[in-house]
């Protein structure tokens, strides 16, 4: 009895750290690895949700020459191109961040400095590849 009173007294004086509230998300500064992590989750969720759209594109691309040309028509619009570019980014980020996680699972690069470096490397690879894909998509080359 006396012990539990003592325990609750200590608990009262101890600072409490709760999960951050939704309203704090914008002002909460994440380290690079944290940004990679949340974007990995968001990109994965997006790819899951658009799976039927991607299968529909695959269907159009493979069914016949006529449907292939229809796909060209669908993809010609600038809005569809932007959506596709977003999905290309989602795939690239998810893939490259995922490779980073496989190394972390093997306990490679767990220390703060290499972990931060590899998190930045994810962006250094995924963003230029997305830009490249965008230039190709919008017909620059």
Distance of closest approach, residue 91 Cβ to other proteins, in angstroms? 8
Q: What is the DSSP letter of 21?
A: P
CB atoms within 10 A of CB 60: 19
Q: How far apart are CA 61 and CA 66, in angstroms?
A: 9
Helices 32-49 and 78-105: angle between axes, nearest 10 degrees:
120
Distance of closest approach, residue 13 Cβ to other proteins, in angstroms? 25
Residue from 89, 100, 99 nearest 129 by CA? 89
Give the interface with other proteins as residue ranges (CB under 8 A): 41, 44-45, 47-48, 51-52, 55, 58-59, 61-65, 68-69, 91, 95, 98-99, 102, 105
Complex with other proteins: residue 9 or 58, whichever CB lies closer:
58
Strand, helix or coil for residue 26: coil
Distance of closest approach, residue 36 Cβ to other proteins, in angstroms? 15
Distance of closest approach, residue 54 Cβ to other proteins, in angstroms? 9
Complex with other proteins: residue 52 or 112, whichever CB lies closer:
52
Complex with other proteins: residue 53 or 124, whichever CB lies closer:
53
Tokens of 80: 């569809």
Residue from 36, 23, 21, 17 nearest 94 by CA? 36
Complex with other proteins: residue 31 or 98, whichever CB lies closer:
98
The residue assigned the tokens 């002002």 is 27
Complex with other proteins: residue 55 or 82, whichever CB lies closer:
55
Distance of closest approach, residue 41 Cβ to other proteins, in angstroms? 7
């Amino acid at each position: 009895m006396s012990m539990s009173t003592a325990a609750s007294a200590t608990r009262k004086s101890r600072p409490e750290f709760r999960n951050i509230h939704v309203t704090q998300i914008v002002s909460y500064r994440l380290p690079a690895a944290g940004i990679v992590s949340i974007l990995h989750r968001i990109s994965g969720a997006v790819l899951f949700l658009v799976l039927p759209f991607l299968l529909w594109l695959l269907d159009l691309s493979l069914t016949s020459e006529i449907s292939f040309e229809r796909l060209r028509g669908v993809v010609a619009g600038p809005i569809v191109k932007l959506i596709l570019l977003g999905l290309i980014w989602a795939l690239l980020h998810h893939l490259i961040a995922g490779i980073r996680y496989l190394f972390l699972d093997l306990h490679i690069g767990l220390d703060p400095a290499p972990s931060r470096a590899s998190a930045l490397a994810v962006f250094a690879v995924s963003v230029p590849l997305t830009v490249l894909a965008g230039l190709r998509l919008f017909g620059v080359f």
